Amino acid sequence: MAELSVSEAGTAGFTVEKTGEVPLVSTVLLAGVPLLGHAFTLRSGGVSGPPYDTLNLGFAAGDREKDVAANRERAWKAAKLPRPPFIPRQVHGNEVVVLDGGNLDALCAAAPEADAVVTKLRGVPLAVLTADCVPVIIVDRRTPALGVVHAGWRGTVLNVTWKAALAMMEAFGSDPADMSAAIGPCISGDCYEVGVEIREAFVKGLPYGADVVRPCRGGKWLADLREANRRQLLDARVPVGAVSVCPWCTHCENGMFFSARRAGGPTGRMAAVAMLG
Protein backbone atom coordinates (compact mmCIF):
# COMPACT_ATOMS: atom_id res chain seq x y z
CA MET A 1 0.00 0.00 0.00
CA ALA A 2 1.30 3.46 -0.86
CA GLU A 3 2.56 5.77 1.85
CA LEU A 4 0.24 8.45 3.15
CA SER A 5 1.15 11.96 2.17
CA VAL A 6 2.36 14.59 4.61
CA SER A 7 -0.87 16.52 4.20
CA GLU A 8 -2.96 13.44 5.00
CA ALA A 9 -0.79 12.79 8.01
CA GLY A 10 -1.30 16.30 9.30
CA THR A 11 -5.09 16.02 9.35
CA ALA A 12 -4.80 13.32 12.01
CA GLY A 13 -2.34 15.30 14.13
CA PHE A 14 0.62 13.17 13.04
CA THR A 15 3.15 14.36 10.49
CA VAL A 16 5.98 12.79 8.50
CA GLU A 17 9.20 14.75 8.13
CA LYS A 18 12.38 13.67 6.41
CA THR A 19 15.82 14.51 7.77
CA GLY A 20 18.33 13.34 5.20
CA GLU A 21 17.33 9.84 4.14
CA VAL A 22 15.34 8.97 7.27
CA PRO A 23 11.63 9.90 7.57
CA LEU A 24 10.25 10.34 11.08
CA VAL A 25 6.72 10.56 12.43
CA SER A 26 5.81 13.06 15.12
CA THR A 27 2.59 14.26 16.69
CA VAL A 28 1.49 17.86 16.99
CA LEU A 29 0.41 17.29 20.59
CA LEU A 30 3.91 16.37 21.80
CA ALA A 31 5.71 18.73 19.43
CA GLY A 32 4.18 21.57 21.43
CA VAL A 33 5.66 20.41 24.74
CA PRO A 34 8.71 22.49 25.77
CA LEU A 35 11.95 20.56 26.36
CA LEU A 36 10.61 17.39 24.70
CA GLY A 37 11.96 15.80 21.56
CA HIS A 38 10.20 12.74 20.15
CA ALA A 39 9.89 10.62 17.01
CA PHE A 40 8.51 7.37 15.69
CA THR A 41 10.60 5.76 12.96
CA LEU A 42 9.22 4.14 9.82
CA ARG A 43 10.66 1.23 7.83
CA SER A 44 12.41 3.32 5.17
CA GLY A 45 15.71 5.18 5.07
CA GLY A 46 18.11 2.40 6.08
CA VAL A 47 20.54 -0.07 4.55
CA SER A 48 19.08 -3.49 5.42
CA GLY A 49 18.00 -5.91 2.71
CA PRO A 50 14.81 -8.00 2.58
CA PRO A 51 12.95 -8.95 4.72
CA TYR A 52 14.36 -6.19 6.93
CA ASP A 53 14.24 -3.49 4.30
CA THR A 54 15.34 -1.00 5.09
CA LEU A 55 15.53 0.77 8.48
CA ASN A 56 15.50 -2.22 10.82
CA LEU A 57 16.55 -1.09 14.31
CA GLY A 58 16.30 -4.44 16.08
CA PHE A 59 19.43 -6.52 16.68
CA ALA A 60 17.32 -9.51 17.76
CA ALA A 61 15.35 -9.71 14.51
CA GLY A 62 17.96 -11.77 12.64
CA ASP A 63 19.37 -8.97 10.50
CA ARG A 64 23.11 -8.40 9.98
CA GLU A 65 24.52 -6.59 13.00
CA LYS A 66 26.50 -4.12 10.92
CA ASP A 67 23.36 -3.12 9.04
CA VAL A 68 21.37 -2.61 12.24
CA ALA A 69 24.23 -0.55 13.68
CA ALA A 70 24.28 1.61 10.55
CA ASN A 71 20.50 1.99 10.68
CA ARG A 72 20.60 3.05 14.31
CA GLU A 73 23.28 5.61 13.61
CA ARG A 74 21.13 7.09 10.83
CA ALA A 75 17.95 7.08 12.91
CA TRP A 76 19.50 8.59 16.04
CA LYS A 77 21.14 11.30 13.93
CA ALA A 78 17.85 12.10 12.20
CA ALA A 79 16.15 12.34 15.59
CA LYS A 80 18.94 14.70 16.75
CA LEU A 81 19.90 12.57 19.73
CA PRO A 82 23.12 13.47 21.58
CA ARG A 83 23.70 9.81 22.46
CA PRO A 84 22.12 6.42 21.67
CA PRO A 85 18.85 5.91 23.53
CA PHE A 86 18.40 3.62 26.48
CA ILE A 87 16.39 0.60 25.27
CA PRO A 88 15.27 -2.05 27.78
CA ARG A 89 15.28 -5.77 26.98
CA GLN A 90 11.62 -6.10 26.10
CA VAL A 91 9.90 -9.27 27.27
CA HIS A 92 6.17 -8.50 26.81
CA GLY A 93 5.67 -7.88 30.51
CA ASN A 94 4.83 -4.91 32.72
CA GLU A 95 8.09 -4.10 34.50
CA VAL A 96 8.91 -0.37 34.62
CA VAL A 97 12.49 0.88 34.98
CA VAL A 98 13.05 4.18 36.79
CA LEU A 99 16.20 5.60 35.22
CA ASP A 100 18.09 8.13 37.36
CA GLY A 101 21.56 9.47 37.92
CA GLY A 102 22.38 6.70 40.36
CA ASN A 103 21.68 3.78 38.03
CA LEU A 104 22.15 5.29 34.57
CA ASP A 105 25.63 3.96 33.85
CA ALA A 106 24.94 0.46 35.19
CA LEU A 107 21.65 0.06 33.34
CA CYS A 108 23.07 1.40 30.09
CA ALA A 109 25.89 -1.15 30.38
CA ALA A 110 23.45 -4.03 30.98
CA ALA A 111 19.86 -3.20 30.08
CA PRO A 112 17.34 -4.96 32.32
CA GLU A 113 14.25 -6.88 31.22
CA ALA A 114 11.42 -4.36 31.14
CA ASP A 115 8.81 -2.94 28.80
CA ALA A 116 8.65 0.63 30.08
CA VAL A 117 11.19 3.21 31.19
CA VAL A 118 10.60 6.50 33.01
CA THR A 119 13.05 9.27 33.85
CA LYS A 120 13.42 12.95 34.61
CA LEU A 121 17.02 13.04 33.42
CA ARG A 122 17.65 15.56 30.69
CA GLY A 123 19.70 14.73 27.63
CA VAL A 124 19.10 10.98 28.09
CA PRO A 125 16.96 9.59 25.26
CA LEU A 126 14.67 6.61 25.81
CA ALA A 127 13.33 4.19 23.19
CA VAL A 128 11.28 1.04 22.68
CA LEU A 129 11.13 -1.16 19.58
CA THR A 130 7.95 -2.37 17.88
CA ALA A 131 6.56 -4.10 14.80
CA ASP A 132 2.77 -4.14 15.52
CA CYS A 133 2.90 -3.67 19.32
CA VAL A 134 1.87 -0.34 20.79
CA PRO A 135 4.54 2.32 21.42
CA VAL A 136 3.50 4.95 23.97
CA ILE A 137 5.28 8.17 24.91
CA ILE A 138 4.16 9.92 28.12
CA VAL A 139 5.42 13.31 29.23
CA ASP A 140 4.84 15.29 32.41
CA ARG A 141 5.15 18.86 31.19
CA ARG A 142 5.59 20.49 34.60
CA THR A 143 8.24 18.39 36.40
CA PRO A 144 9.33 17.59 33.63
CA ALA A 145 9.45 13.79 33.35
CA LEU A 146 9.18 11.24 30.59
CA GLY A 147 8.14 7.64 29.97
CA VAL A 148 8.21 5.28 27.00
CA VAL A 149 6.24 2.04 26.82
CA HIS A 150 6.16 -1.11 24.68
CA ALA A 151 2.75 -2.78 24.92
CA GLY A 152 1.98 -6.04 23.14
CA TRP A 153 -1.14 -7.95 24.06
CA ARG A 154 0.48 -9.47 27.15
CA GLY A 155 1.79 -6.15 28.41
CA THR A 156 -1.54 -4.53 27.67
CA VAL A 157 -3.42 -7.13 29.70
CA LEU A 158 -0.89 -6.54 32.49
CA ASN A 159 -1.58 -2.78 32.42
CA VAL A 160 1.95 -1.77 31.46
CA THR A 161 0.95 1.70 30.22
CA TRP A 162 -1.02 2.43 33.37
CA LYS A 163 1.93 1.20 35.45
CA ALA A 164 4.32 3.52 33.61
CA ALA A 165 2.14 6.54 34.31
CA LEU A 166 1.82 5.46 37.95
CA ALA A 167 5.61 5.05 38.20
CA MET A 168 6.03 8.66 37.08
CA MET A 169 3.64 9.78 39.80
CA GLU A 170 5.39 7.74 42.49
CA ALA A 171 8.99 8.41 41.46
CA PHE A 172 8.74 12.06 40.41
CA GLY A 173 5.54 13.37 41.96
CA SER A 174 3.99 13.81 38.52
CA ASP A 175 0.42 15.05 38.40
CA PRO A 176 -1.60 13.31 35.66
CA ALA A 177 -3.26 16.63 34.92
CA ASP A 178 0.15 17.77 33.65
CA MET A 179 0.65 14.70 31.45
CA SER A 180 0.32 14.33 27.69
CA ALA A 181 0.72 11.07 25.80
CA ALA A 182 0.99 9.77 22.26
CA ILE A 183 0.13 6.27 21.09
CA GLY A 184 2.25 5.65 18.01
CA PRO A 185 1.85 3.48 14.92
CA CYS A 186 0.68 -0.05 15.76
CA ILE A 187 -1.66 -2.74 14.49
CA SER A 188 -5.29 -1.60 14.42
CA GLY A 189 -8.30 -3.24 16.00
CA ASP A 190 -9.54 -4.15 12.52
CA CYS A 191 -6.46 -6.29 11.80
CA TYR A 192 -5.39 -7.88 15.07
CA GLU A 193 -7.14 -11.22 14.95
CA VAL A 194 -6.74 -13.38 18.07
CA GLY A 195 -8.05 -16.62 19.53
CA VAL A 196 -10.48 -17.11 22.36
CA GLU A 197 -7.68 -17.54 24.91
CA ILE A 198 -6.40 -14.00 24.28
CA ARG A 199 -9.93 -12.67 24.36
CA GLU A 200 -10.38 -14.30 27.77
CA ALA A 201 -7.10 -12.75 28.96
CA PHE A 202 -8.42 -9.30 28.05
CA VAL A 203 -11.72 -9.90 29.80
CA LYS A 204 -10.03 -11.19 32.95
CA GLY A 205 -7.17 -8.70 33.00
CA LEU A 206 -8.92 -5.42 32.22
CA PRO A 207 -12.16 -3.96 33.57
CA TYR A 208 -13.02 -2.87 30.03
CA GLY A 209 -11.56 -5.97 28.40
CA ALA A 210 -14.84 -7.04 26.82
CA ASP A 211 -15.16 -3.60 25.23
CA VAL A 212 -11.89 -3.81 23.29
CA VAL A 213 -12.40 -7.20 21.66
CA ARG A 214 -15.14 -8.07 19.21
CA PRO A 215 -16.08 -11.27 17.38
CA CYS A 216 -15.10 -11.88 13.78
CA ARG A 217 -14.96 -14.89 11.45
CA GLY A 218 -14.43 -18.49 12.43
CA GLY A 219 -14.71 -18.05 16.18
CA LYS A 220 -11.87 -15.53 16.20
CA TRP A 221 -11.79 -12.12 17.83
CA LEU A 222 -10.41 -8.69 16.94
CA ALA A 223 -8.48 -7.00 19.75
CA ASP A 224 -8.00 -3.24 19.81
CA LEU A 225 -4.62 -2.67 21.47
CA ARG A 226 -4.72 1.04 20.73
CA GLU A 227 -7.98 1.57 22.57
CA ALA A 228 -6.96 -0.64 25.48
CA ASN A 229 -3.82 1.43 26.05
CA ARG A 230 -5.71 4.69 25.60
CA ARG A 231 -8.08 3.52 28.33
CA GLN A 232 -5.10 2.82 30.60
CA LEU A 233 -3.92 6.39 30.19
CA LEU A 234 -7.40 7.62 31.08
CA ASP A 235 -7.46 5.24 34.05
CA ALA A 236 -4.26 6.98 35.18
CA ARG A 237 -6.25 10.25 34.96
CA VAL A 238 -4.38 11.66 31.97
CA PRO A 239 -6.89 14.14 30.45
CA VAL A 240 -8.72 12.72 27.44
CA GLY A 241 -7.74 15.72 25.31
CA ALA A 242 -4.07 15.16 26.14
CA VAL A 243 -3.89 11.73 24.49
CA SER A 244 -3.04 11.56 20.79
CA VAL A 245 -3.62 8.29 18.90
CA CYS A 246 -1.93 7.55 15.60
CA PRO A 247 -4.51 6.38 13.04
CA TRP A 248 -2.14 4.34 10.86
CA CYS A 249 -2.16 0.57 11.02
CA THR A 250 1.22 -1.13 10.80
CA HIS A 251 -0.42 -4.22 9.30
CA CYS A 252 -2.16 -2.29 6.50
CA GLU A 253 0.51 0.24 5.58
CA ASN A 254 3.19 -2.04 4.14
CA GLY A 255 5.11 0.83 2.55
CA MET A 256 5.42 2.66 5.85
CA PHE A 257 5.81 0.16 8.65
CA PHE A 258 7.15 -3.22 9.68
CA SER A 259 4.48 -5.68 10.77
CA ALA A 260 5.31 -9.00 12.39
CA ARG A 261 1.75 -10.22 11.88
CA ARG A 262 1.77 -9.35 8.18
CA ALA A 263 5.25 -10.76 7.59
CA GLY A 264 4.52 -14.06 9.31
CA GLY A 265 8.28 -14.47 9.75
CA PRO A 266 11.42 -12.37 10.13
CA THR A 267 10.91 -8.64 9.83
CA GLY A 268 12.40 -5.41 11.13
CA ARG A 269 11.69 -3.25 14.14
CA MET A 270 10.83 0.44 14.43
CA ALA A 271 11.54 2.74 17.36
CA ALA A 272 9.62 5.23 19.47
CA VAL A 273 12.18 7.71 20.80
CA ALA A 274 11.82 10.57 23.27
CA MET A 275 14.14 12.83 25.28
CA LEU A 276 13.96 15.73 27.67
CA GLY A 277 16.23 18.55 26.55
pLDDT recorded at residue 238 = 98
**In this structure, what are the phi and psi dihedrals at residue 178, rounded to the nearest 5 degrees?**
-95, 5
Name the pTM for this structure.
Answer: 0.95
Pairwise CA distance, residues 14 & 82, whole Å:
24
Helix runs in the chain, H state only: 6-11, 28-31, 65-78, 104-109, 153-157, 160-172, 196-205, 225-235, 260-263
Q: Give yes or no for residue 46 having a pLDDT over 90.
A: yes
Pairwise CA distance, residues 222 & 239, whole Å:
27
In sequence order, the β-bridge partners of residue 186 are 249
Tell which residue, 102, 118, 172, has the closest CA to residue 142: 172
Neighbours of 197 (CB within 10 A): 8
Neighbours of 32 (CB within 10 A): 10
Pairwise CA distance, residues 42 & 17, whole Å:
11
Model pLDDT for residues 208-231, shown as the tens digit of each residue: 999 999 999 889 999 999 999 999
Model pLDDT for residues 30-44, shown as the tens digit of each residue: 999 999 999 999 999
Amino acid at 222: L
What's the order of all strands across the beta sheet hosting 36-41?
Answer: 14-19, 22-27, 36-41, 270-276, 126-130
Q: Give yes or no for residue 12 having a pLDDT over 80.
A: no
Q: Could you tell me whether strands 179-183 and 243-245 are parallel, antiparallel, or unpaired per DSSP bridges?
A: parallel
Tell which residue, 89, 38, 39, has the closest CA to residue 59: 89
Q: Give yes or no for residue 245 having a pLDDT over 80.
A: yes
pLDDT mean over 171-199? 97
Tell me, rounded to whole angstroms, the distance of Cα 23 from its chain centroid.
16
Q: Give yes or no for residue 11 having a pLDDT over 70.
A: no
pLDDT recorded at residue 9 = 42
Handedness of CA 159, 211, 129, 8 (dihedral sign): negative
Model pLDDT for residues 127-136, shown as the tens digit of each residue: 999 999 999 9
Q: Which CATH number fits domain 6-186+243-276: 3.60.140.10, 3.30.450.40, 3.30.70.100, 1.10.1740.10?
A: 3.60.140.10
Pairwise CA distance, residues 72 & 62, whole Å:
15
Model pLDDT for residues 136-184, shown as the tens digit of each residue: 999 999 999 999 999 999 999 999 999 999 999 999 999 999 999 999 9
**In this structure, what are the phi and psi dihedrals at residue 172, rounded to the nearest 5 degrees?**
-120, 0
The pairs formed by 107-114 with CB atoms below 8 angstroms and a separation of 24 or more are 111/86, 111/87, 112/88, 113/88, 113/89, 114/88, 114/89, 114/90
Extents of the domains making up the chain: 6-186+243-276
Pairwise CA distance, residues 257 & 206, whole Å:
28
Tell which residue, 187, 264, 247, has the closest CA to residue 223: 187
Model pLDDT for residues 102-135, shown as the tens digit of each residue: 999 999 999 999 999 999 999 999 999 999 999 9
Q: Which of 17-26, 73-82, 97-106, 120-129 has the lowest mean pLDDT?
A: 17-26
